[in-house]
Amino acid sequence: MSNQDLVLILNCGSSSVKAAVMDVAKKEVLMSCLAEKVGNPDAYITFKVNGEKNKHDLSAPHDHTAAVMALLDELKKLGLYDGVKAIGHRVVHGGERFTQSTVITPEVMRDIEACIVLAPLHNPAHILGIQAAQQAFPQLPQVAVFDTAFHQTMPPHAFHYAVPTSLYTKYGVRRYGAHGTSYRFVAQETAAILNRDINQMSMVIAHLGNGASITAVKNGQSQDTSMGLTPLEGLVMGTRSGDIDPSIFSFLAANANMSIDQVTEMLNKESGMLGLSNLSNDCRILEEAAANGDQGAELALNVFAYRLAKYVGSMTVAAGGLDALVFTGGIGENSDSMRKKVVDYLHVFGLKLDDQANLDARFGKSGVISTKDSKGNVLVVPTNEELMIALDTAELTGMHV
């Protein structure tokens, strides 16, 4: 028996399996892996240990179970297998059923299945991943950590859409939000950095990656968030439009002969910064292009920043104040120029950026980037969803950390 306390974190998509092994006490990732093209004959898995990568083909039937079995073999080779005491799964949608992370039981599996209608692309893959892990590690407890759970504290006036309430009662049409695990982590870190009690703080946190959302957190609880029934609503994203007049469906059906599926695909995959720039969904590429005079790239960045700044205003209302505005996610953690564009709009709230601190807070560095006389703190806090999943898993399975 190993006396190490390790958690295996699994994040299964429809054609991918992402995993990491974390030493929870040290908050350290000991190995990670990514299986891609899962379900196809050319599926492969790449392991990363101590910065070194090695790639293997996945054996037949090239599915989620094959990926988890390959991971199990690798853990044995690396001498980590005996140290793994529990498995934590990222699950995208827990509907209204799950308000926090939970140990997986047959009943929990049925409830995750019942949420498939709300996340038809994600939850079926999570179920395959959980089943594969149960088969490969039958002796280990497993925990589900839901992206939606943190937002279950939203009050009815925030989660209801102004549509007939029968759509809510019959079909569950409401705002659910996403990125909840990230928000929970970042809210705790923010309070710690500011040496404040999280239960007496109003924060607005912007998680800006290829998918982007923003959340109002009051006294440690989500009050409102920009993503809705699906991740399409809210901010401008890499390829998603965010907020739009829903009449676009009938307008394009009448004028462009487009079907519901085609408009949905266009709004999810061809819009956002990609659609605006006609160049890329990637903020880094757009910043370079804009610096070289590309007008489409500049427009994309400006629409992104303006929409985000408007949302900071509305989320400040939801949070009941603004002790801290926090940037996280790939763009939030790295793009000093995007942060500046956004905070420039927020002079109206008395927020002021310390330009040098803003420049310094990149590539994984956290910190306060506002001036001393700014009316609220502005921070950069790198997110760590894996750590949050590992900590929840350790706590729920009684690991001593």
In the complex, what is the shortest distance from the CB of residue 281 to ligand AMP, in angstroms, rounded to a whole number? 7
Cβ contacts of residue 369 below 8 Å, gap of 6+?
339, 353, 354, 357, 358, 361, 378, 379, 380
In this chain, which stretch among 26-34, 40-48, 115-123, 327-335 interacts with ligand AMP, using CB under 6 A?
327-335
Catalytic residue among 5, 147, 336, 392, which?
Answer: 147
- Residue type present at position 393: T
Is residue 376 a contact residue for ligand AMP (CB under 6 A)?
no
Q: For the chain, give me the number of helices (H) and strands (E)?
A: 15, 14
Is residue 298 a contact residue for ligand AMP (CB under 6 A)?
no
In the complex, what is the shortest distance from the CB of residue 382 to ligand AMP, in angstroms, rounded to a whole number? 10
Is residue 284 a contact residue for ligand AMP (CB under 6 A)?
yes
Dist CA 276 CA 239 (whole Å) = 9
Dist CA 353 CA 202 (whole Å) = 19
Interface mask (CB under 6 A) for ligand AMP, residues 235-264, using x and -? ---x--------------------------
Residue 93 carries which DSSP code?
A: -
Q: Is 147 a catalytic residue?
A: yes
Task: Select from 63, 287, 385, 386 the one that contacts ligand AMP (CB under 6 A).
Answer: 287
Q: Contacts with ligand AMP: how many residues (CB under 6 A)?
A: 12
Task: Select from 210, 221, 230, 268 the one that contacts ligand AMP (CB under 6 A).
Answer: 210
In the complex, what is the shortest distance from the CB of residue 33 to ligand AMP, in angstroms, rounded to a whole number? 18
Cβ contacts of residue 162 below 8 Å, gap of 6+?
none
User: Euclidean distance between the first and final Cα of the chain, in Å?
Assistant: 18
Which residue has the CB atom at the shortest distance from ligand AMP? Answer: 330
Contact 385, 91 (CB under 8 A): no
Dist CA 153 CA 220 (whole Å) = 10
Cβ contacts of residue 168 below 8 Å, gap of 6+?
160, 161, 174
- Residue type present at position 272: G
In this chain, which stretch among 108-116, 178-186, 246-254, 328-336 interacts with ligand AMP, using CB under 6 A?
328-336
In the complex, what is the shortest distance from the CB of residue 321 to ligand AMP, in angstroms, rounded to a whole number? 27
Contact 168, 174 (CB under 8 A): yes
Which positions lie near ligand AMP, rule CB under 6 A? 209-210, 238, 282-284, 287, 329-331, 334-335
Active site residues: 147
